[in-house]
Structure 1
Amino acid sequence: MRKFLIAFCFIPLASLAQEKVDLDMIGKIKKEGTDNSHVMEIAFHLTDVSGPRLTASPGFMRAANWAKDEFTKMGLVNAQLEPWGEFGKGWQQEHCYVAMTAPYYQPLLAIPRAWTGGTPGKKMLSGEIVLLKIKDTLDFAPYTGKLKGKIVMIWTPTTLKPSFEADAGRFTDSALEKMAAAEPKPQVESRRRQQTGNWVPVEMQRRINQLLNKEKPALILSFNPNGNDGTVFVGGGGSYAKDAEEVPANVMLSSDDYLRLQRLIGNGQKVEIEADVKTSFYKDDLKAYNVLAEIPGTDPTLKSEVVMMGGHLDSWHAATGATDNAAGCAVMMEAVRILKALNVQPRRTIRIALWSGEEEGLFGSRNYVKNHFADPAKMELMPEHSTISAYYNLDNGSGKIRGVYLQQNQQVRPIFNSWLAPFNDMGAKTLTIDNTGGTDHLSFDAVGIPGFQFIQDKLEYDTRTHHTNMDTYDHLVADDLKQAAIIVASFVYNTAQRDAKIPRKELPKP
């Protein structure tokens, strides 16, 4: 704790004193968010009721339309599905059954990879597995012209290791103190972690994909070494581009099933499977949509200015996208519900956005920013750019909020320190100058609009739920989401009521 205090001792006391905090309103927000929370009910509709929410899929549109209607019921205005541009083909899995039939029968845990096709014909596919042992491009020759209509898998050197560490965890005091003591450093672009599902170099995998797409096997069996104990990490396996050729059926197996098949084949056993995989593509509407709604501002001077908040509504398809990111969307929706329930009359307009296309590259938020504020490639500012005070984002799972990543914006430290003070007893007190990447606040930061992601306890996000078949409602922690909604509602309210907009960093160069 001493190191934490030292890290903040340079903040002028006068700065803290100047920042107004309406403790009476904060108390009301706490009470409403604790005693009358709807956050789990919202999460239920976004997950169990809507289903998987791959961008442009029927599940995404179910969730988006439900959220739009729910905003209207709450009393928000201008609730709409706003197109941000062309995305491409929608996709969803319709049916998936895969089982080993020889040397004995065993159902296999299998999930189709997004934007891949189904098994050919109307009858059940059955046959022997062809194990491809490919280490370099010279190994392609034995398989060229021989894989059409076959069931194939690629040999892997991977072996499973026991899990000696707990799946879930919270930030320790020492970890938070280290984050708080971080020094400013040059900002670099954050690279999104990709779940490739492969253990080979990217260029080699590209060539393998070219081989398989040309050969047209009936079914490809894939494997992701990140998963164990029945957890399957699943992403894309084909292209959503409108003119892209449909690729063969491709399912991700559990690591246990995949390695068992490989061992059997490697030891001379004849391994056969049967499979019936059906998927659908949707091409009638190639656009993609964000969900937007507002609580209008009331101050004659400031109502044209905007405070934004949001999270991404889209998910991957192996489960119902609970921690990634129905949790963040449910918190944001609950936060605006709290403010409407208290009949808050904000000085600035409060706008909530639920993004699409985040999983494919922050497309929804990036194009919204490009359409409304500025193109980061040119940095020619549109009139709306000057109206935005700040954007707040939540997209790191179901864990409670522990503080804020300042995104190298040192000027906001004393402001946010004052705003977090009423929530120190709820575990939220850490401010770190560090950046965090891979989510939608970066779209705003890229054009000089203050964009912030909250620090959250990791729980089992990276180990068990992120992009997996385990990302379901039951992995949400109700008390954590309630705490998060209360803090978000408070930050948004404080930003809306503040005399001045949130301080900005130097405008980025094109």
Structure 2
Amino acid sequence: MRKIVLFGLMQSALLVSFSQSVPDADIISKLKQEESQNSKVMDIAFHLTDVSGPRLTASPNFMNAANWAKTTLSGWGLENARLEPWGDFGKGWQQERCYIAMTKPYYTPIVAIPRAWTGSTPGKKMINGGIVLLKAKDSASLVQYAGTLKNKIIMLWVDDALKPSFEPDGARLADSSLAKMAKAEMNVAPGQRPANDQARQQFMARQSFQRNLTKLFNEEKPALVLSINPRGNDGTVFVQGGGEYGKDAPEGPANIMLSSDDYLRLQRLVNAGVPVEVEADVKTRFFDKDLKGYNVIAEIPGTDPKLKDEVVMLGGHLDSWQGATGATDNAAGCSVMMEAVRLLKAMNFKPRRTIRIALWSGEEQGLFGSRNYVKNHLGDPATMKLMPEQQNISAYYNLDNGTGKIRGIYLQGNEAVRPLFTSWLQPFNGEGASTVTINNTGGTDHLAFDAVGIPGFQFIQDPIEYDTRTHHTNMDTYDHLVPEDLKQASVIVASFVYNTAMRDEKIPRKELPKPREGQRPI
């Protein structure tokens, strides 16, 4: 009899476990219906991009977007909506004017964008002059230019030539690629990188040269520095930082990133001895009254007496670079995450666990917002000294790979979650979302949670134009968003959050990582 009772108890436990892993069809249907009939995801994206503008961390535009998001989340009924400081960041910065044109041997406007945290051209009037071409490839060859660059317009010789692209900018993930991801095995332990001494040495040499170049510019004080990122063509400018944002960092000279086509034309003319002149007026502004960095946080409180102190988190980074309005990187992800919690509120959902949305700042400079949130609330990966709240976070879900629809999810080495996520994706298999891969993926905010043993996940997305055209470029605008993809992603994220909030157990965890004292953050 005892064996029969035990067998019956085991069957009941299995049935309960299975029932909690099977998605609620009625809930999925309601989420899809709400998104189909009343979607707000593109309106959210509009306010974060066209209305707010570029959202460089600590800039007025970022703070405008953050305050709008906080107010909007509160208006939907989320509680504890706030801008939470995570620590010192540094100076804010925005561009206020950027004009440059070649005036000799003929007139032509030039496509250019100031590099973040760089200065202005001297004086209140437009500057005019020829170009000094620096033919330096290493730190030693920079010495020859000492004492010759003050108030000059300068550019650095580059060997790169534009290469035509024979591949389309936009693409969906092929079935073969997804199948390969699904079959992947974990070959490198989470948090480790394969050794590549040659690549590391080359990287360190480039970093050393760039530091010495920056030092030369700060000492010589040229009027304007012209820069190039050879990745760009057809008028696309890949542009990020060029100066320092620390409280006491010196303000460097005006430094603008040109389109590759314009830069290489100027270089050829100057190198051939053709008289070349340009006129330019570049004005930027630094902001140092508030040096703190801020995240946007809001919650749907849990209702289960036993589980309400546990938390399901979702988020994406709100900050962007300055070249455009940061639509695919990462207003898209923030819009989806905000829309996901709106969907849940629209259903009058009463979660067992608390649901917490976070929109991060400082991601582009080093995952600062999420890493400091984790350090302030959950634990320090350097020492692996954990806080009590670390045990209460069931999972963190992130979105930060552009506008493409969700095709699946990265397990981040957490094999125990595979059956669960496979089941949760089943209602969306017909929409192309079915792939569960053991693979790790990096470069964004789920890593901060994974680093202290909290299940942190990033969704697989179609690349669309992300790496080819929009990522960190002047093309990263609202018009490159795909509405139907963002709607699909919003429903999937909402369903994952719903399922995580309602199950009896927290999401299974991997083995706690070892302390990373002295190691480079991942």
TM-score band, normalised by shorter chain = over 0.9
Q: Deviations over 1:265-301 (max 9, x none)?
A: 1111111111110000000000010000001111111
Q: Deviations over 1:106-139 (max 9, x none)?
A: 1111100000000011111111100111133443
Deviates more, 1:180-189 or 1:217-226: 180-189
Q: Deviations over 1:58-78 (max 9, x none)?
A: 010010000000001101000
Per the alignment, in what secondary structure is the counterpart of residue 307 of structure 1? Answer: strand
Contact 2:319 2:363 in 1 (8 A): yes
Contact 2:327 2:478 in 1 (8 A): yes
Per the alignment, in what secondary structure is the counterpart of residue 142 of structure 1? Answer: helix
2:426 aligned to 408, 417, 421, which one?
A: 421
Deviation at 1:163, TM superposition (A): 1.2
Match of 1:498 in 2: 503
Contact 2:377 2:390 in 1 (8 A): yes
Amino acid at match of 2:100: V
Amino acid at match of 1:372: H
Partners of 1:138 and 1:505 in 2: how far apart? 48
1:436 aligned to 438, 441, 446, which one?
A: 441
Match of 1:335 in 2: 340
Match of 1:402 in 2: 407
Deviation at 1:35, TM superposition (A): 1.8
Q: CA RMSD in A?
A: 1.7
Partners of 2:141 and 2:362 in 1: how far apart? 37
Contact 1:347 1:496 in 2 (8 A): yes
Per the alignment, in what secondary structure is the counterpart of residue 381 of structure 2? Answer: coil
Match of 1:76 in 2: 78
Contact 1:16 1:414 in 2 (8 A): no
Match of 1:195 in 2: none
Amino acid at match of 1:304: D
Q: Deviations over 1:138-189 (max 9, x none)?
A: 4334321010000000111111111111011111010000000001231235
Partners of 1:471 and 1:356 in 2: how far apart? 18
Give 4+ residue runs of structure 1 displaced > 6 Å after superposition.
12-15
Contact 1:190 1:438 in 2 (8 A): no
Match of 2:198 in 1: none
Deviation at 1:13, TM superposition (A): 11
Partners of 1:366 and 1:126 in 2: how far apart? 45
Write out aligned runs for 1:355-504 (5 A).
355-504=360-509
Partners of 1:16 and 1:172 in 2: how far apart? 31
* C-alpha distance 189-313 of structure 1, shift in aligned 2 (>3 A): farther
Match of 1:67 in 2: 69
Amino acid at match of 1:170: R
Match of 1:86 in 2: 88
Deviates more, 1:20-29 or 1:498-507: 20-29
Match of 2:231 in 1: 226
Partners of 2:22 and 2:308 in 1: how far apart? 19
2:270 aligned to 265, 286, 306, which one?
A: 265
Contact 2:20 2:503 in 1 (8 A): no
Amino acid at match of 1:83: P
Identity %: 71
Amino acid at match of 2:216: L
Amino acid at match of 1:494: N
Deviation at 1:213, TM superposition (A): 1.7
Contact 2:23 2:427 in 1 (8 A): no
Per the alignment, in what secondary structure is the counterpart of residue 379 of structure 2? Answer: coil
Match of 1:54 in 2: 56
Q: Deviations over 1:448-496 (max 9, x none)?
A: 0000000000011000000000000000000000000000000000000
Deviation at 1:509, TM superposition (A): 1.1
Q: Deviations over 1:231-285 (max 9, x none)?
A: 0000100000000000000000000000000111111111111111000000000
Match of 2:199 in 1: none
Partners of 1:135 and 1:19 in 2: how far apart? 58
Contact 1:405 1:432 in 2 (8 A): yes
Match of 1:96 in 2: 98
Alignment of 1:309 onto 2:314: yes
Amino acid at match of 1:76: L
Deviation at 1:14, TM superposition (A): 11
Match of 1:507 in 2: 512
Match of 1:155 in 2: 157
Deviation at 1:190, TM superposition (A): 7.0
Contact 1:16 1:415 in 2 (8 A): no
1:41 aligned to 40, 43, 59, which one?
A: 43
Structure 2, unaligned stretches of length 5 or more? 1-13, 195-202, 516-522
Amino acid at match of 2:184: A
Partners of 1:57 and 1:394 in 2: how far apart? 23
Match of 2:4 in 1: none
Write out aligned runs for 1:252-331 (5 A).
252-331=257-336
Deviates more, 1:141-150 or 1:490-499: 141-150
* C-alpha distance 121-189 of structure 1, shift in aligned 2 (>3 A): farther
1:123 aligned to 112, 125, 140, which one?
A: 125
Amino acid at match of 1:399: G
Deviates more, 1:485-494 or 1:31-40: 31-40
Partners of 1:284 and 1:230 in 2: how far apart? 36
Partners of 1:190 and 1:315 in 2: how far apart? 27
* C-alpha distance 378-142 of structure 1, shift in aligned 2 (>3 A): closer
Contact 2:403 2:485 in 1 (8 A): yes
Contact 2:139 2:208 in 1 (8 A): no
Per the alignment, in what secondary structure is the counterpart of residue 282 of structure 2? Answer: strand
Partners of 1:71 and 1:272 in 2: how far apart? 52
Write out aligned runs for 1:179-218 (5 A).
179-185=181-187, 186-189=189-192, 201-218=206-223
Instruction: Give the TM-score normalised by structure 2.
Output: 0.92
Match of 1:240 in 2: 245
Number of residues of Structure 1 aligned to a counterpart in Structure 2: 493
Deviation at 1:426, TM superposition (A): 0.9
Amino acid at match of 2:46: F
Amino acid at match of 1:302: L
Match of 1:8 in 2: none
